Structure 1
Amino acid sequence: MTTLQATSGDIVRVLFAILLPPVGVFLQVGLGLHFWLSIVLTLLGFIPGIIHALWIILTR
């Protein structure tokens, strides 16, 4: 069984993921494919961008 421990950096990234999804993804993975995908999803609809950003942050 694994335990989840949130650090202050995780909290900041989650807040950015909700307010500005590409920034949250950038803080987690840098300027990679997921960052550009987050920008596209955010432009197509804000909610898909948030979902993608949270998924990236919480699974890595």
Structure 2
Amino acid sequence: MDIIRLLCAIFLPPLGVFLQVGLGIDFWINVLLTLLGYVPGIVHAVWIILSKK
């Protein structure tokens, strides 16, 4: 399942975070980072997916 989340994190970062943690603060931070710049959103999403198991 982590591979699917990581693929989602690369193509649509908020979706990858949503699949990992739901509609929490991490999701909204990722939406903001993705709107400010696509790469920070990807980095944050990958970090959330790999650190929260």
Which band: TM-score by shorter chain? over 0.9
Distance in 2 between the 1:12 and 1:38 partners? 18
Structure 1 stretches of at least 4 aligned residues deviating more than 4 Å after TM superposition: none
For 1:11 and 1:47, the matched residues in 2 are separated by 19
Unpaired runs of at least 5, structure 1: 1-8
Q: Give the C-alpha shift of residue 56 in structure 1.
A: 0.1
Structure 2 residue ranges without an equivalent (≥5): none
SS at match of 2:23: coil
Select the structure that is richer in helix: 2
Query: What is the aligned-residue identity percentage?
Result: 65
Q: How many residues end up aligned between the 2 structures?
A: 52
Quote the RMSD (CA, aligned, Å): 0.3
